[in-house]
């Protein structure tokens, strides 16, 4: 088997590693006589108060370091590879996979399909369990890693094999039993495909998965995303308003059944369903503390709650900013969040009359009009649709349109490119409702963050 080298990238000042003269470029070989596979082995083996660390110095000399420390005290080492191992790619060919629906010519990292259970703990990714070995399950149980996020899609073994195009996909569901018996906290996801795993199949899945309560704390139901690049792929139809209402009705039925016994609503519809059904969003208490926030469940409710609380607080504190002249700004977002962003912008205008705001919905021409989340908007669509529009002094954009930690859009256009094209300053907005108000008022703008409106799609 391939063994990765664990090369030290950085040693934190004042840390145990610095005291032991560990330096960037050194290689970690063993801890307590055991080889390290990945970051979880490292974290587990460095917990004890006494450990022995074998390090190979840059000159090739091996040092065995005996370390006395506090329990769980960190050594202060950062490695070149944060996972300390290669990322595991997906072995499935799911009928709903969005990566298969992307055009050619984009940056290489966008085409990598990960299905690595370790990223579930580190980044909140959802995994199918199909490439997890018995050893992987044993390590999760041994280290008691929680929570793990699982992409179920269905509990029908034969249908799951079909949906994932993997003959072992049904058998993989048995791993959930092992996690449940070990008391490992789990969250689940069902990507709903019309005519495939909806209706009676969805009811079956909810019923089956509810047996894993309370360790399976929540399951989200999200509609499949359909881009315009589906030639040669499994035929899938978009959901209608009537379909959305049926999904919500089924979920509400199960929530009413399960909540009295477990104190959890358990099964949740993502925000898209309520918008498609033209129904009101559930109240905050229905989201069980927003267990599925990053999966688009309750993002808009949380944003609205935070926004109106902050706006009321500012009004009561008489924090009404008085400018000598009016300021005109523009905001752009995806079609899905547009009605809510418009409502919020209007509410801010009413409290702060010096401010004039225009909100523009951006149609996703790059991936197709069925893709309505702002996290999949491209710089070229924003540029094209805002060219010649009244943008005022500043243009506000949500952070999730940018590549993580960078000023680059999904299509590699930069924020600077957009500013030059539109001849307007672009502010990237933070995530909370209070941040939204601050951004409109130009308080602390320009820092990384993002208006929360379905940031489930990640740009790598």
Of 276, 295, 314, which residue sits at a domain end? 295
User: What's the pLDDT band for 22 if we cut at 50, 70, 90?
Assistant: very high
State what percent of residues in the chain have pLDDT above 70. 92
What's the confidence (pLDDT) of residue 65?
95
Domain that holds residue 318: 302-440
Angle in degrees, CA 10, 107, 415, rounded to 5: 80
- Stated as kind and residue range, the H or E segment containing 62 is strand 62-68
333 and 198, same domain (yes or no): no
Residue by residue, DSSP assigns 204-236 as HHHHHHGGGTTTEEEEEEEEPP--S--TTSPP-
User: What's the pLDDT band for 83 if we cut at 50, 70, 90?
Assistant: confident
Provide the whole-model pTM.
0.83
Under a CB-based contact definition with an 8 Å cutoff, are residues 236 and 266 in contact? no
In a domain, 91, yes or no: no
In a domain, 448, yes or no: no
DSSP state of 156: -
For residue 71, the domain's CATH number is 2.30.42.10
pLDDT higher than threshold 80 for residue 14: yes
Of 295, 310, 344, which residue sits at a domain end? 295
210 and 115, same domain (yes or no): yes
DSSP state of 76: -
In a domain, 129, yes or no: yes
In a domain, 453, yes or no: no
For residue 331, the SS3 value is: strand
pLDDT higher than threshold 70 for residue 116: no
For residue 203, the domain's CATH number is 3.80.30.10
367 and 349, same domain (yes or no): yes
312 and 418, same domain (yes or no): yes
The single residue listed with the structure tokens 């998965």 is 209
In a domain, 309, yes or no: yes
Q: How many angstroms separate the Cα of 38 from the Cα of each of 3, 4, 44, 220?
A: 10, 9, 10, 30
Closest CA to 173 of 161, 191, 187, 185: 161
337 and 256, same domain (yes or no): no
User: Which range, of 117-126, 213-222, 257-266, averages the lowest pLDDT?
Assistant: 117-126
279 and 308, same domain (yes or no): no
Domains held by the chain: number: 3
Residue 387 burial (10 A CB sphere; 0-12, 13-18, 19+): exposed
254 and 327, same domain (yes or no): no
Q: Could you read off the pLDDT of 429-450 as tens digits, one per residue? A: 977 899 999 999 887 543 333 3
242 and 312, same domain (yes or no): no
Winning range, highest mean pLDDT, from 77-91, 160-174, 313-327:
160-174
Mean pLDDT, residues 23-39: 92
For residue 310, the domain's CATH number is 3.40.50
User: What's the pLDDT band for 39 if we cut at 50, 70, 90?
Assistant: confident
In a domain, 397, yes or no: yes
Mean pLDDT, residues 37-41: 86
Radius of gyration in angstroms for the set of CA atoms belonging to the chain, rounded to a whole number? 25
Mean pLDDT, residues 325-344: 94
126 and 227, same domain (yes or no): yes
User: Which range, of 66-70, 297-301, 403-407, averages the lowest pLDDT?
Assistant: 403-407
In a domain, 460, yes or no: no
Of 295, 315, 336, which residue sits at a domain end? 295
In a domain, 85, yes or no: no
277 and 154, same domain (yes or no): yes
Interacting residues of 366 by C-beta distance below 8 A, sequence separation 6+ = 103, 377, 378, 380, 381, 410, 411
186 and 227, same domain (yes or no): yes
For residue 260, the SS3 value is: helix
380 and 287, same domain (yes or no): no
């Amino acid at each position: 088997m391939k063994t990765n080298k664990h090369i030290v990238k950085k040693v934190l000042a004042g840390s145990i590693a610095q005291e032991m003269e560990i330096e960037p470029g050194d290689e970690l070989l063993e801890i307590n006589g055991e080889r390290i596979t990945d970051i979880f082995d490292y974290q587990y083996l460095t917990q004890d108060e006494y450990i022995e660390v074998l390090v190979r110095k840059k000159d090739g000399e091996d040092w065995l370091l005996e370390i006395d420390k506090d329990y769980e005290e960190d050594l202060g080492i950062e490695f070149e590879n944060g996972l300390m191992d290669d990322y595991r790619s997906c072995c499935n060919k799911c009928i709903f996979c969005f990566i298969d629906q992307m055009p050619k010519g984009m940056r290489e990292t966008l085409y990598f399909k990960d299905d690595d259970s370790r990223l579930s703990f580190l980044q909140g990714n959802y995994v199918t369990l199909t490439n997890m070995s018995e050893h992987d399950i044993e390590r999760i149980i041994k280290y008691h890693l929680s929570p793990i996020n699982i992409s179920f899609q269905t509990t029908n073994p034969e249908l799951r094999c079909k949906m994932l195009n993997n003959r072992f996909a049904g058998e993989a569901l048995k791993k959930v039993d092992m996690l449940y018996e070990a008391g490992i906290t789990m969250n689940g996801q069902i990507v709903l495909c019309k005519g495939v795993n909806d209706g009676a199949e969805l009811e079956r899945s909810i019923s089956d998965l509810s047996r894993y309560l309370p360790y399976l704390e929540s399951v989200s139901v999200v509609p499949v995303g359909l881009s315009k690049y589906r030639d040669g792929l499994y035929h899938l139809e978009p959901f209608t308003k009537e379909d959305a209402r049926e999904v919500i009705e089924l979920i509400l039925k199960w929530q009413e059944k399960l909540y009295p016994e477990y104190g959890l609503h358990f099964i949740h519809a993502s925000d898209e369903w309520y918008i498609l059904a033209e129904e009101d969003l559930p109240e905050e208490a229905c989201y069980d503390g927003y267990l599925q926030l990053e999966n688009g469940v309750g993002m808009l409710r949380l944003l609205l709650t935070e926004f109106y609380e902050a706006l009321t607080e500012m009004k009561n504190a008489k924090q009404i900013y008085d400018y000598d002249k009016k300021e005109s700004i523009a905001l752009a977002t995806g079609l899905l969040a547009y009605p809510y962003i418009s409502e919020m912008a209007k509410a801010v205008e009413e409290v702060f009359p010096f401010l004039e705001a225009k909100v523009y919905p951006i149609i996703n021409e790059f991936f197709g009009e069925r893709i309505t989340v702002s996290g999949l908007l491209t710089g070229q669509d924003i540029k094209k649709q805002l060219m010649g529009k009244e943008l005022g002094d500043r243009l506000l954009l949500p952070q999730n349109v940018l590549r993580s930690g960078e000023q680059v859009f999904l299509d590699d256009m930069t924020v600077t490119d957009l500013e030059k094209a539109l001849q307007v300053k672009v502010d990237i907005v933070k995530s909370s409702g209070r941040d939204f108000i601050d951004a409109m008022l130009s308080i602390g703008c320009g820092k990384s963050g993002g208006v929360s409106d379905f940031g489930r799609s990640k740009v790598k």
